[in-house]
Structures are given as structure tokens and as C-alpha cells.
């Protein structure tokens, strides 16, 4: 079923292994249905699809490719971002896999992919999505070629990227070296300065105690005064 569509809304409905991407275009709520991913690889069908989409809406971009970058990708996340990753996979004609904690067994992202795998039930819901070994094993056992981490969770975890790389699985995101460099915000600042990138005035080093931070602020030579912003030295927040 389709909900009320705004102009040129692309929706993807997943039912088991067969996925169907549908484009809803106004006025007249005209619909184009794509069959399973095997049909998407058909050059004659793809040509007709492009022509029909162009006739309905010249700005529509839901055009599957005949040469997708991967056969199967896994969204190592939950909720809205996992759903968006699955939608992108559908638009590329790529099979998609998802993961979910037991507490998320009824959430939308579980049903928006071709396959969904239950995570470790012996840990908390958050810890389940941070379980690198379980996620990597799911990928290895189910022929996943690439993983998109979304944001948060393991998206900036160099150990996760390394584990995937070690097992021949592509991490869709920064390189391990980039994650290592920019995960440390002090190092990232140093790299920016070395490359003449403007940065916000502040300390060059991280502080371990409140006393260290206070001493830096109160030193006139540092030209820093209240109010100040406290930034975590590690992570993406």
C-alpha cells in the first residue's frame, strides 16, 4: 500500500527476498512498479523504465543500475538511517541485509531489507549494535560484500573497519587510517593546522583534569576567556 504521496516521492516496499521499488509521481499518482532485482538487470527493461520515468518526471532519480558496486550490503545500524541505506540499495539493485536487537524486532528497519539478522540477546540493546564479532560473523556467513555503518554506533570505530577489511568486506566510509586520525580530535586539529585549514581558537592539547583546563583559560598568554566550549577529544560528538 502507498501512503499519500508528495510530488515525486520514491518509496520502497520490501517483502521477503523479492524487493519492489515504486515511484509515485503527482499529479495523477502514476505508479511504476519494478519487479525483483533480477528484472532490474535486464537492459531492455531498464531502458523502458528510464523512458517511462522521464516521461512522468524528468527530475526523477530512481534509476537502478545494471552494474551495482556490490551484490549485497549490510546496514550496521537501526531506525531511520538503516532504512535509508536499504532504500539506496534498492535504487542500485543491490541486495540488502539488516541487523536488529531483540528489543527492535518490531521496528521498521527490520522489514525494509531483504534479510534481517537478530543480534546477540545476552547484552543490552545498545551493546548489541556495538558487537563487532557478531556483526562480522553475520556478514561472513551470509555473503555480505560491504557494510554501511550509518552514523553513531560503529561508524567511526577503526576496530570495526579493520575487522571487516581483514575478512575481505568493504567498509563503506573512511579508511582505517582516516578513522584513526580523525577519531582523535586533537590529532585532527593538528592535521588541519598543518594543511592551513582555519580552525577555531583553542587548546592544542587535550586536558585530563578540570584544573588543567582552568589553568589554560586563566593564562592571559592563551587569549582564552569564558565562556568556553568543551569538546570531547575522541569520537564524533
- Provide the CATH number for the domain around residue 175: 3.40.50.20
pLDDT beyond 60 at 116? yes
Residues 85 and 130 in one domain: yes
Partners of residue 117 on adjacent β-strands: 99
Please give the pLDDT value at position 210. 92
Residues 127 and 33 in one domain: no
Least confident of 35-44, 56-65, 104-113: 35-44
pLDDT beyond 60 at 62? no
Residues 91 and 112 in one domain: yes
Per the structure, the count of domains in the chain is 3
Cell numbers representing residue 123 in the block: 547484552
Q: How many CA atoms lie within 13 A of 171 on its CB side?
A: 25
Query: In degrees rounded to 5, what are phi and psi of residue 73?
Result: -120, 155
Residue 84 near residue 60, CB atoms below 8 Å: no
Q: What is the pLDDT of residues 166-182, one digit of tens each?
A: 999 999 999 999 988 88
Residue 141 lies in a domain: yes
Domain that holds residue 216: 184-222
16 Rama class: left (phi>0) / alpha (psi -120 to 50) / beta: left
Helix locations, 57-97, DSSP H: 79-92
Residue 24 lies in a domain: yes
Residues 215 and 162 in one domain: no
Residue 142 lies in a domain: yes
| Most confident among 134-138, 177-181, 228-232 (mean pLDDT) | 134-138
Residues 126 and 194 in one domain: no
| SS3 call for 138 | helix
Amino acid at each position: 500500500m502507498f501512503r499519500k504521496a508528495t510530488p515525486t516521492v520514491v518509496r520502497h516496499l520490501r517483502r521477503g527476498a523479492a524487493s519492489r521499488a515504486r515511484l509515485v509521481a503527482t499529479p495523477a499518482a502514476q505508479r511504476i512498479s519494478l519487479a525483483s532485482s533480477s528484472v532490474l538487470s535486464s537492459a531492455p527493461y531498464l531502458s523502458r523504465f528510464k523512458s517511462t520515468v522521464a516521461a512522468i518526471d524528468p527530475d526523477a532519480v530512481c534509476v537502478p543500475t545494471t552494474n551495482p558496486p556490490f551484490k549485497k550490503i549490510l546496514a550496521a545500524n537501526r531506525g531511520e538511517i538503516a532504512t535509508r541505506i536499504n532504500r539506496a540499495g534498492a535504487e542500485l539493485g543491490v541486495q540488502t541485509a539488516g541487523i536488529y536487537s531483540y528489543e527492535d524486532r518490531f521496528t521498521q528497519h527490520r522489514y525494509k531489507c531483504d534479510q534481517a539478522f537478530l543480534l546477540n540477546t545476552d547484552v543490552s540493546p545498545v551493546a548489541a549494535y556495538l558487537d563487532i564479532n557478531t556483526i562480522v560473523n553475520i556478514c561472513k556467513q551470509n555473503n555480505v560484500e560491504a557494510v554501511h555503518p550509518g552514523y553513531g554506533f560503529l561508524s567511526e570505530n577503526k576496530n570495526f573497519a579493520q575487522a571487516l577489511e581483514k575478512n575481505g568486506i568493504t567498509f563503506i566510509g573512511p579508511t582505517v587510517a582516516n578513522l584513526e586520525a580523525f577519531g582523535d580530535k586533537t590529532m585532527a586539529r593538528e592535521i588541519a593546522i598543518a594543511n592551513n585549514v582555519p580552525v577555531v581558537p583553542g587548546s592544542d592539547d587535550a586536558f585530563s583534569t578540570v584544573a588543567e583546563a582552568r589553568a589554560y583559560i586563566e593564562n592571559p598568554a592563551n587569549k582564552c576567556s569564558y565562556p568556553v566550549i568543551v569538546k570531547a577529544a575522541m569520537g564524533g560528538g
